[in-house]
Chains A and B, each alone.
Chain A
Amino acid sequence: MAAPPLLTLRGVSKRFGGVQALVDVDLQIRAGEVVALVGDNGAGKSTLVKVIAGVGPADQGVIEWEGHTVQIRRPHDAQALGIAAVYQDLAMCESLDVVGNLFLGREVHRAGILDEVEMERRARELMHTLSIRIPDVRAPVAILSGGQRQAVAISRSLLGAPKVLLLDEPTAALGVEQTSQLLDLIEELRDRGLGVLLISHNMGDIKAVADRVAVLRLGRNNGLFEVPTTTQERIISSITGAADNAVAHRTTGEEGAWP
């Protein structure tokens, strides 16, 4: 049928000492699709992102990239495949300008001498194609607003031309208008064929941009829903545990049993 999903996780488990953080988790991300990952605090969302990004590799389970089994042991492995992550804390160098932050760690240079003109050109081009409005790409990141910082962080992750983008609570610190701009950006990326995994607590955001919602509860899958055909209450009851696994596991659509 269609091309294989970009990323498939099967039976991923991870344990921290005595705590079983992830148990037998399955997940799929396809090109041109936004998958929301939801769950209560401690459900294992961030752990799962770290597994995919190679920051905290899985103990067990299979990861497939475009249909082939791969190993993701280090952040570098994930980057090489085409997986980029934007973490909640953003982690930017406050005093460096936007261009400096975008290219941090992968500066364009000739024999160690920075090529500022080329970096600025690429930065402007990227900002332009993503319709991101930053007043001055030479302004230090410290003076940017929360939304602009988020946009810079996402642009930074996109410089390596990834196929899958992991976003950890991108709207948590944003105002209403900034959130809507960010959601526009996420849609833009989806339309460009990226697979986006969006961690969020905000049902409104999820309803607005996600195609599917995967629920984690206590480190296990607790349902996968097609967003347009599912009520908010249904998703929330899955998160809280009011709806049990078996019911929630049924999915609509042609693909039948999930995954």
Chain B
Amino acid sequence: MAVGQSIRGYADAVRHRLRGGEAARRGLRVGERGPLLVILGLIVIWLVFQGLNANFLSPRNLSDLSVDIAATGLVAVGIVFVLLIGEIDLSVGSVSGLAGAAFAVLNVYLGMPEWLAIIVAVVAGTAVGAVHGFFFARVGVPAFVVTLAGLLAWNGLTLYLLGASGTINIDEGGLVAALTSLYFSGGIIAYGLAAVGTAGYFLAARRSRRRRRDAGMPYRPLAEIGVRTGLLAVLTFATAHVLTLFQGVPLALLIFLAVVIGSDLVLRRTRSGRKVFAVGGGIEAARRAGVDVARVRIAMFMVSGTLAAVGGLFVASGLTSASPTTARAAGSGMLLINAVAAAVIGGTSMFGGRGSAWSALLGALVIQSIASGMALLGIQDAVQFMVTGGVLLAAVAADSLTRRAAARARGSIRRSSRSGRGAMLH
């Protein structure tokens, strides 16, 4: 980190002199290097699996991948919110199972309209998160214990709800089923979305550049904005092209992307988001700045519970059923581990204060690519579990090393102000 900083500082200084202005100072920001590494890793994974099985990069498999990342990814976005305040939510797998079961029971057995059952299931997730947040922030129980208790208890409730009926098949033509089976075919929608996204990025970057220039501050050169926009255009149009080759743009992908972009804007651009980073970066500082720490903490667990429930509806949608078997699987923690792994692999720190909603997308892509590739190769679950566990450990180890390197760069490892899980991990 220290070396990286000084090299970057040197490079900046050189460019500065070459171009003769402060404008040159804004190249790659610190936070942009991690995601680039993940993207490189993803490309390697794709090339390896493509080498082993020529179907891996087929439009069909890539399209399926974009649908399969939605459930894990949505849960991972919720995990990002909780990780940003330096905590963990171990209950998300069980809560997602609960939401799927609640929806199925309400809709199929009690005849509640689908839209209402969806709302109730999602709000149930929010309420569960509020309970976790209350016990953590107001009562003072460490978050990993509260949510560990939740992992068991909510799974129990799910099995109890399904107990009388066993497997419940949901309406295959309904709203929930559509979450993972609806595609917007036709190139206009796919390419149109790619164009809108690219243009939106370009206009926002140009506006920010103008404002910075008018305020007499360093700003990005137009050429750099052009290159970035170009890269984004290549990425989005290539995605649109591949998706069009199969069935079109999946609704699941659209919803997931909307949640990621919305979460990212809230976290980076609003006062509420700033409070989240403040609590994660230094509780005492946040408190002195007037942030209601307990409220932020409860809110984060509510977000995590809500998105776990939404993810659960996607799981139910993919299976078009809710059953005791899948509920037990949800309780066994595969979705939880995948979601946490996705968030951390994508670059969100376990130690709070560092991370982004985009890490859920990147990490979910990595996790699902590995799962999909191994499934294509016919590798058994046992090996998949070991690989996923190994990848998670590697990501967390990288996170820990980054943190220690940053601390050493300052000459001393500052004592952690966090308690509970953070202290346990040291």
As a 0/1 sequence over residues 4 to 40 of chain A, the CB contacts with chain B under 8 angstroms (1 = contact) are: 0000000000000000000000000000000000000
Instruction: Kindly specify which of B128-136, B211-219, B376-384 makes contact with the partner chain.
Output: B211-219
86-107 of chain A: CB within 8 A of chain B: 89, 91-96, 100-101, 104-107
Residue of B nearest to A103 (CB): B274
Residue of B nearest to A104 (CB): B289
Note all chain B residues with C-beta closer than 8 A to A250: none
Task: Select one of A91, A118, A143 contacting B285, CB under 8 A.
Answer: A91
Q: Is the CB of B409 within 8 A of A143?
A: yes
A121 at the interface (CB under 8 A from B): yes
Q: Is the CB of A105 within 8 A of B291?
A: yes
The CA of A107 and the CA of B216, in the complex, are separated in Å by 20
Residue of B nearest to A122 (CB): B215
The CA of A144 and the CA of B409, in the complex, are separated in Å by 9
Residue of A nearest to B8 (CB): A136
2-60 of chain B: CB within 8 A of chain A: 5, 9, 25, 29-30
Task: Select one of B29, B270, B406 contacting A112, CB under 8 A.
Answer: B270
**Distance in Å from the Cβ of A53 to the closest Cβ of chain B?**
11
Q: Is the CB of B215 within 8 A of A121?
A: yes
The CA of A31 and the CA of B313, in the complex, are separated in Å by 65
Q: Is the CB of A143 within 8 A of B5?
A: yes
Q: Is the CB of B274 within 8 A of A114?
A: yes
The CA of A105 and the CA of B291, in the complex, are separated in Å by 7
Task: Select one of A95, A114, A121 contacting B353, CB under 8 A.
Answer: A95
Note all chain B residues with C-beta closer than 8 A to A89: 284
Best-buried of A93, A105, A143, A145 by chain B (most CB within 10 Å): A93
Residue of B nearest to A95 (CB): B353
Q: Is the CB of B353 within 8 A of A117?
A: no
The CA of A95 and the CA of B86, in the complex, are separated in Å by 12
125-145 of chain A: CB within 8 A of chain B: 135-136, 138-140, 142-145
B165 at the interface (CB under 8 A from A): no
Q: Is the CB of A93 within 8 A of B9?
A: no
Q: Is the CB of B286 within 8 A of A113?
A: no
B303 at the interface (CB under 8 A from A): no
**Distance in Å from the Cβ of A222 to the closest Cβ of chain B?**
31
The CA of A117 and the CA of B271, in the complex, are separated in Å by 15
Residue of B nearest to A149 (CB): B410
Note all chain B residues with C-beta closer than 8 A to A118: 215
Residue total for A at the interface (Cβ-Cβ under 8 A)? 32
Q: Is the interface of B mostly helix, strand, loop or mixed?
A: helix
B73 at the interface (CB under 8 A from A): no
The CA of A107 and the CA of B409, in the complex, are separated in Å by 29
A105-B291, A143-B5 known; A93-B354 Cβ under 8 A: no
**Distance in Å from the Cβ of A78 to the closest Cβ of chain B?**
13
Note all chain A residues with C-beta closer than 8 A to B212: 117, 120
Note all chain A residues with C-beta closer than 8 A to B281: 92-96
The CA of A135 and the CA of B25, in the complex, are separated in Å by 11
A120-B217, A140-B30, A143-B5 known; A94-B282 Cβ under 8 A: yes
**Distance in Å from the Cβ of A138 to the closest Cβ of chain B?**
7
As a 0/1 sequence over residues 383 to 426 of chain B, the CB contacts with chain A under 8 angstroms (1 = contact) are: 00000000000000000000000110110001000000000000
Q: Is the interface of A mostly helix, strand, loop or mixed?
A: loop
Q: Is the CB of A95 within 8 A of B352?
A: yes
**Distance in Å from the Cβ of B122 to the closest Cβ of chain A?**
24
A234 at the interface (CB under 8 A from B): no
B81 at the interface (CB under 8 A from A): no
Note all chain B residues with C-beta closer than 8 A to A143: 1, 5, 406, 409-410
Note all chain B residues with C-beta closer than 8 A to A91: 282, 284-285, 288
Q: Is the CB of B410 within 8 A of A95?
A: no
**Distance in Å from the Cβ of A89 to the closest Cβ of chain B?**
7
280-313 of chain B: CB within 8 A of chain A: 280-282, 284-286, 288-291
Q: Is the CB of A93 within 8 A of B277?
A: yes
Q: Is the CB of A112 within 8 A of B272?
A: yes
The CA of A118 and the CA of B215, in the complex, are separated in Å by 8
Residue of A nearest to B207 (CB): A117
Q: Is the CB of A142 within 8 A of B217?
A: no
Note all chain B residues with C-beta closer than 8 A to A104: 274, 278, 285-286, 289, 291
**Distance in Å from the Cβ of B253 to the closest Cβ of chain A?**
27
Known pairs A93-B280, A93-B285; list 16 more (Cβ under 8 Å): A92-B285, A93-B281, A94-B281, A95-B280, A95-B353, A96-B277, A104-B285, A104-B286, A105-B288, A106-B289, A107-B274, A114-B269, A114-B274, A121-B215, A142-B407, A143-B5
17 A-B pairs with C-beta separation under 8 A:
A89-B284, A91-B288, A92-B281, A93-B285, A93-B286, A94-B353, A96-B278, A96-B353, A100-B277, A104-B285, A109-B271, A114-B270, A114-B271, A116-B269, A117-B212, A118-B215, A143-B406
B residues whose Cβ falls under 8 Å from a Cβ of A: 1, 5, 9, 25, 29-30, 208, 211-212, 215-217, 269-272, 274, 277-278, 280-282, 284-286, 288-291, 352-354, 406-407, 409-410, 414
9 shortest A-B CB distances, which residue pairs?
A: A105-B289, A95-B353, A93-B281, A95-B281, A93-B282, A104-B289, A91-B285, A91-B284, A121-B215
